[in-house]
Amino acid sequence: MKLPVSPKERIERAMGPPRGGVGVGVGGGSGIGVAMVFLIVSASSLLIRLPLVARARLPNPTSSSYTSRSRSRALLLLPASSPLRAYCPASRRPSPATCSAAYASSSMATDDNPLLADFDFPPFDRVEPTHVRPAVRTLLARLEGELADLEKGVQPTWGKLVEPLERIVDSLEVVWGTVDHLKAVKDSSDLRAAVEDVQPDKVKFQLRLGQSKPIYQAFNAIRNSSDWETLSEARKRIVEAQIKEAVLSGVALEDEQREKFNQIEQELEKLTQKFSENVLDATKKFEKLITDKNEIDGLPATALGLAAQTAASKGHENASAENGPWIITLDAPSYIAVMQHARNRALREEVYRAYLTRASGGDLDNTNIISQILKLRLEKAKLLGYKNYAEVSMAQKMATVDRVEELLEKLRAASWDHAVKDMEDLKAFAKESASPEANDLAHWDLSFWSERLRESKYDINEEDLRPYFALPKVMDGLFSLANRLFGVSVEPADGLAPVWNSDVKFYCVKDSSNSPVAYFYFDPYSRPSEKRGGAWMNVVFSRSRVLARNGSPVRLPVAHMVCNQTPPVGDKPSLMTFREVETVFHEFGHALQHMLTKQDEGFVSGIRGVEWDAVELPSQFMENWCYHKNTLLSIAKHYETGELLPEEIYAKLVAAKNFRAGTFSLRQIRFASVDMELHTTYDPNGSLSIYDVDRRVAERTQVLAPLPEDKFLCSFSHIFAGGYAAGYYSYKWAEVLSADAFSAFEDVGLDNEKAIEETGRRFRETVLALGGGKSPLEVFVSFRGREPSPEALLRHNGLLPVAAL
């Protein structure tokens, strides 16, 4: 059965510079409390029902009544697979002193583990690495008993199958989702070690649940019953999805094949986790201390302030933007500033090469990890009866391998000539500017000269725009847009829920009757020492009728929005680049689909149950509003003077929208194409390397050939540590949907407020409300009145004249 926890359901924003990224990791639940539960254990041919209390499952070895005999009896009653056995040695006569130490260190002797508390919002401020092992193991022991009870008495009815299953799934999500989120935003060596210890137990339980034949058979019984046609469409989708997911989880495999499948799943979990950690560590590892300001000539004041602030945090107490010293890192705000603005070509080259080769050498080398991941994915696919892993991936998506390849080739053909022209324009401009590298432009020159060309061509400087995009004003404008389009209001609710960092904001979303419908956290700033890069949206709780509490008809949805934008420097607020503004709009689009759902069935509410290649529709749709005149002018006010962004600058922004669109399109197509080839035709046991595949793809997707040492695959977390394996194409697939959806607003007139409001409400009632309870194509047709067309995307990107569609 589906356990939608990270990494599969983390929605990541499109990879790295020059744009940001998004993600969905799901966690949720109402806590555990101390309710009496039962473990069902097998002793010979007898079933013994052993009542256990959630927070005191074993006799306290420090008490006077504890003996090694009582400990042995308790161990005998536990299944061999029980995580509780990990608390003491497996010997039948363990030393009471040894077991006492294990018991005390597990924290099971206390009642104050925040992960096991009964809460309305996760206690992010109180969870420590020491809480992870006991909480996860205690929870898994309880869920083993609940699953055994469910299997024993399973009936093919909603109340006796789906509802108890949703409770089991949600119980794991609330604990693991909280831990996984903290690992992404507050990483530490202790937290890593704790996760590594309990991760195999978690995966083992997921496999146990996913391969449950009684549950699988019960879902099939519902599917084949005479009552099938009386079920709602949402419930039918749940049943069919659970059947498909059980098959993909190996429910049909037996004996050696099942054992092999489970070994593969365990190993993949470890490898993807290690891949992600290596990328984070490699990114943190690079620091370049600069004391001569001439070396960073060209960097704007914002970047200098950030570099000095970084230096101060590293022990250079007197660091200042004016006098330094400065520290350059590979964190996005620092890296992008250097590549776009540093006149020092040698510095650009050094930083570019460091970024391109992250996690590709030494003890952080991901090359072998990638090879193992690809081998295991292929082996898994063949065990399930598929030719390759891409077919496994497509089994739960809108597209097929053939349709993906067709779309990517059409978009590649439409983009190629534009990208070639982009490069010619860049070379000509560099030559006109008497640049010494004009005749030999390298990769580390492209962003720098692109910015200079854009400044010259459109008389617009992105750094000069920062003062107009102060984060508080941007958020106010974004919330006003949500009110105008969807009839909801967003209000600060700081203090209502615990947070993991003082910079995190908490908000309440209310409908037109002023009733809360959802909540969300917003973690905006880069923290390279503990927070992974990119931007994403995660689910904390899903809307659910079954999991309602305190007399409410439903449990309200809660989300995370996480970015890595430029933090405040000194007494200035966070002053954003326009790309950072787009990223915030993007993440909010994901959050809106989660929060404004009207599905009460937890398995298909919000983003849950939505085919992965459609999940980017609302996020990319929201980005379009950054170029809408009334919207942009409502957020663009100078943070000091209050001056509105001049209309002539707005006009230049719009004119520059498709600057180098062909190049940026090819970049995404390269990522999507190498992802597909690695998961379709590539033989990980053959003579070709993963880098051979990437270079072959680059020949048709990159005008300037990649460097021989290009190892970007070693930091391609989307496909090797996220949910986008054989799925990166989803960005382009959903971009077709989102552009076509926005064209509905263009059709009625973007200045026609009444029509915009009506169209916005229809978007809310379809795309945002229906969740996974209806197929994405049907949802789109319900909104648009027809199937999607790529015409709007090509038109928006200025690529239509070249397209032959």
- Residues known to be catalytic: 587
Q: What residues contact residue 554 under an 8 Å CB cut-off, 6+ apart?
A: 543, 544, 545, 548, 600
| Structure token digits, residue 596 | 């404004």
CA distance 419 to 435: 21
Please check whether residue 365 is in contact with residue 359, taking contact to mean a CB–CB distance below 8 angstroms: yes
Helix, strand, coil proportions of the chain in percent (round to 5)?
55, 10, 35
Residue 287 · residue 328 · CB < 8 Å? yes
- 3-class DSSP state of 309: helix
∠ CA 745-407-272, nearest 5°, is 100
Q: Pick from 616, 646, 542, 626: which is nearest to 584 by CA?
A: 626
Helix (H, G, I), strand (E, B) or coil at 12: strand
Residue in 654, 661, 636 with CA at minimum distance from that of residue 750: 654
What length does the chain have? 805
Q: Measured between alpha carbons, how far is 470 from 464 in angstroms, rounded to an integer?
A: 12
| C-alpha–C-alpha distance, residues 190 and 184, integer Å | 14
Pairing state between β 36-43 and 46-53: antiparallel
Alpha carbon distance 427, 425 (integer Å): 6
How far is residue 555's CA from residue 602's CA, in Å, rounded to a whole number? Answer: 9
Q: State how far the Cα of 610 lies from the Cα of 603, in Å rounded to an integer.
A: 10
Residue whose C-alpha is closest to residue 191's, from 178, 200, 182: 182
Alpha carbon distance 82, 94 (integer Å): 17
Angle, vertex CA 352, rays to CA 581 and CA 17, nearest 5: 20
DSSP-based three-state secondary structure for 744: helix
Q: How far are the Cα atoms of 194, 533, 534, 719, 725 from residue 716, in angstroms, in the given order? A: 25, 12, 12, 6, 10
Strands annotated E in 394-533 = 489-492, 505-510, 516-525
**59-to-64, 67, 87, 106 alpha-carbon distances in Å:** 11, 9, 12, 14
* Cβ-based neighbour number of residue 129 at 10 Å: 18
Closest CA to 438 of 450, 426, 456: 426
Going by the DSSP 8-state scheme, the letter that residue 577 receives in this structure is P
Query: Cα 633 to chain center, whole Å?
Result: 30
What's the DSSP call for residue 633?
Answer: H
**H/E stretch holding 565:** strand 558-565
**Tokens describing residue 597:** 């759902």
Place of tokens 């580390």: 444
Q: Kindly tell me the sign of the dihedral angle through the C-alpha atoms of 114, 115, 118, 120.
A: positive
* DSSP state string for 481-509: HHHHHH--EEEE-TTSS--SSTT-EEEEE
- Neighbouring CB atoms inside 10 A of 647's CB total 10
Q: Please state, in angstroms and rounded to a whole number, the distance separating the CA atoms of residues 755 and 374.
A: 50
User: Cα–Cα distance between 282 and 298 in angstroms, integer?
Assistant: 26
